[in-house]
Amino acid sequence: MAKFETVIKETIARGARRQVRLVVLPLRRDLLRLRRKMGGLQGAVAALRRRAAGWERLMKAAPPVPQVSEEEAKAARLSPRLIQSLRKRLGLSQMALARVAGVSAPAVAHWEGGESTPTGQNRATLVGLRKVGRREVKELLARRVKETASRRPRVRRRAKKKARRGARR
């Protein structure tokens, strides 16, 4: 009787293994196919990342404002009213225009007030900004803000407090 039980158990186990094999074999094939596909996709993503990094380097190296010839910059009319209308058209504050042009906010205020006029590189930058739209200026401004934020040294506040305490004593 014990032998009969073991024979039945072995037969059931064999049948179960056969049934499992019928189900698992296609799943293994699918798994291998998906692994190959995943490897290919990972390669494509890596290639796209490299290409994106290349484009990013190219964009950083590109001049932020369209280059203008010296003659074109000298020939351009830049009245206070024109500077103000350019700033309004681009949707910028005086501070934002100053950041884009690489000057101080009071300089822009003086230009718009007619107290001074932009010269040299500042004039060329303003003439170049005429060829740029709102979206490009916003991107340029974001890039400039990011650059200036990365240049600033971070000051620890605790160090200041300790220095103050030491001075009091």
Kindly report, residue by residue over 11-55, the tens digit of the pLDDT.
999 999 999 999 999 999 999 999 999 999 999 999 999 999 988
Instruction: List all residues 6 or more positions away from 98 whose beta carbon is below 8 Å from its beta carbon.
Output: 104, 105, 107, 108
Contact in structure between 156 and 107 (CB atoms under 8 Å): no
CATH architecture of structural domain 70-151: Orthogonal Bundle (1.10)
Cβ atoms of residues 65 and 140 within 8 Å: yes
Closest CA to 113 of 75, 76, 138, 87: 87
Q: Is the pTM of this model over 0.85?
A: no
Domain segments of the chain as ranges: 70-151
Supply the pLDDT for residue 118. Answer: 87
